[in-house]
Structure formats: C-alpha cells, structure tokens
Amino acid sequence: MNPVDEAAQYLRAHLPSLPETGIVLGSGLGAFADAVEDSTVIPYRDIPHWPASTAVGHPGKLVAGRIAGRSVAVLAGRAHLYEGYTPQQATFAIRVLGVLGVGSLILTNAAGGINPAYRPGDLVLLSDHINLQGSNPLAGPNHDAWGERFPGMTFAYHPPYREIAQRCAAGLGFVLQNGIYAGLLGPSYETPAEIRYLRAIGADLVGMSTVAEVIVAVHMRMKVLAISCVTNMAAGMLNQELDHQEVLATGRANAERFEQLLRSIVAHLHD
C-alpha cells in the first residue's frame, strides 16, 4: 500500500464520517479550527506518513466535523517547501483528502500585498497564480488513478466558487478583493527588486504556499477556492522591514471576519 492510501485508511478508521469539503488554514488563521462542531481532532503526528508542520502559527492538526451543517476536514497547518519538504510531501495532505473523496477544497494563506490598492487586513480572492517555486508536484511518474498526466490549469480556481465567495462577502458587508498570487520558495522574504519584478509580471500578492496544493487538487479533479489575507505589504511597498510576528498578528486580528466568510462559503458551496 502506498503512503497516501495508508494515511487515508487510517483516517477512514478514525473519523466518524468522511468529509465533503477540505479547508487548509494559513499562518495565524488556525483559530477557525475551533469553530468546527462535533469535532474529531487528530494530530498530524498520529497520521501515517503525514508531514509535521514546523512553521510558527501552524498548529499541526486535522479537525473533522461540521461547519454550517456541512461535513468538513480542517487542516490547521500545512507543510511548506521551505521547511525542506519535497513537493510531493508538501502536497501529501491534499492527496489524502482527494483519496478520501473530498471534492471541494478551500485554501487560505497569509500573503504580502503587491497591489498598491491593497491594505493589511484585506481578504483577496485568488483568480490565478504564478508558480515561481522552482518545482511542480506532478513531476515524476504519473499515478493514473489520481489524475491525468497533463491536467489543464485554465480554470484552476473554480469560477462558480469564486462567485459564491463574492456573494457571501457582500452579504457580510465587506469587499472581497481579487488578485493573482505569486508562489515563491522562501523562507526569506523577497527583496524590493523582486517585488518590482513580480508586480511587472502581473502578481498582486506573494507567498510561500498554496500553488503546489492547487496543482495537486486540480490533478485530482477537486474544485478549488483560495483566499489570501494580506498580512503585510511586500518589501519596498512601505519603508520598513518585514516581520513574521506582524504576519501572525494581522492574521489573528482578522480571524473573526475570515471565520464568518468561510462559514458562509461552506454553507453555500453545495447549494
């Protein structure tokens, strides 16, 4: 049995029901896991082959239960390439969710704002991405049972889900920005020159996650929605140094609004 199937088998045996929606929480956003009702909490260390989350602000646990009456699996913490994981390890959780039958995936992250119209605390709905991480999680032999060799990425960010998210934000009385996410390797933050380059090629946001997860989710025919919290303006946008504690603090400060939005989206995702 391969490691993905082994992890999925373990979760089938330990979860009271299989989730229909997966939610991945980014830096400083882990509090949403506490909102899951009838929850079953499984630390990542207990799941066979599951990579540990070592980044600050990533608790490292799977919380399964119900949000707005829907069956969900919330991942409080993710694995990053900059932690030394391979692209396959960094997307292991997404593979397992796909094998469990999860058809809808909501990804969240903390990101640096490049678009000058953004402000720290803005929530941005991703419409596309630019992969500058130097790798692709689909490289190597293709597992045909998971997906086709050359999956298309034109509609990677499922347009109907984006429409639902916009309606939910409007219903809560705030504007959900739209943007293109540039994924870089990290862990160092970008230089001002790199940010000028990213802006020139069309990026609105920059971060160190999400892109590989989206590629794998699309490969496994999952419908993807992704939302960034602008936790800081990127290097050179303001005359100050970047600080990871600022990233975490901004994420926490906006956690309640983010939680309201996610709850509303989950409630309407399968209408």
Catalytic residue among 232, 235, 254, 255: 232
256 is catalytic: no
Catalytic residue among 7, 27, 235, 255: 27
Bridge-based pairing state of the strands 205-207 and 177-184: parallel
- Give tens-digit pLDDT for 11-42: 999 998 999 999 999 876 777 888 899 999 99
> What are 229's two structure tokens?
């919290």
pLDDT at 235: 57
pLDDT at 242: 54
What is the share, in percent, of the chain residues with pLDDT greater than 70? Answer: 89
| Average pLDDT value for residue range 40-45 | 94
Catalytic residue among 10, 31, 39, 82: 82
142 is catalytic: no
CA distances from 27 to 2, 47, 54, 105, 159 (A): 30, 21, 11, 17, 25
217 is catalytic: no
Catalytic residue among 53, 71, 115, 209: 209
Catalytic residue among 90, 110, 222, 237: 110
pLDDT at 27: 72
Lowest mean pLDDT among 71-85, 143-157, 249-263: 249-263
264 is catalytic: no
Catalytic residue among 73, 83, 181, 234: 83
82 is catalytic: yes
Cβ contacts of 166 within 8 Å, gap of 6 or more: 125, 176
Asked if residue 44 has pLDDT above 90, the reply is yes
Residue type, 24: V
* 170 CB-contact burial (10 Å; exposed 0-12 / middle 13-18 / buried 19+): exposed
Asked if residue 134 has pLDDT above 90, the reply is yes
pLDDT at 93: 97
> What are 45's two structure tokens?
């260390």
Catalytic residue among 208, 217, 222, 255: 208
209 is catalytic: yes
Q: Write the DSSP assignment of 204-245 as a string of letters.
A: SEEESSSHHHHHHHHHTT-EEEEEEEEEEEPBTTBSS---HH
Q: Which of 236, 262, 264 is nearest to 105 (CA)?
A: 262
- Give tens-digit pLDDT for 194-220: 999 999 999 999 999 999 999 999 999
Asked if residue 240 has pLDDT above 60, the reply is no
Asked if residue 236 has pLDDT above 60, the reply is no
6 is catalytic: no
Asked if residue 251 has pLDDT above 80, the reply is no
In three-state secondary structure terms, 109 is: strand
237 is catalytic: no
- Give tens-digit pLDDT for 78-95: 999 999 999 999 999 999
pLDDT at 249: 65
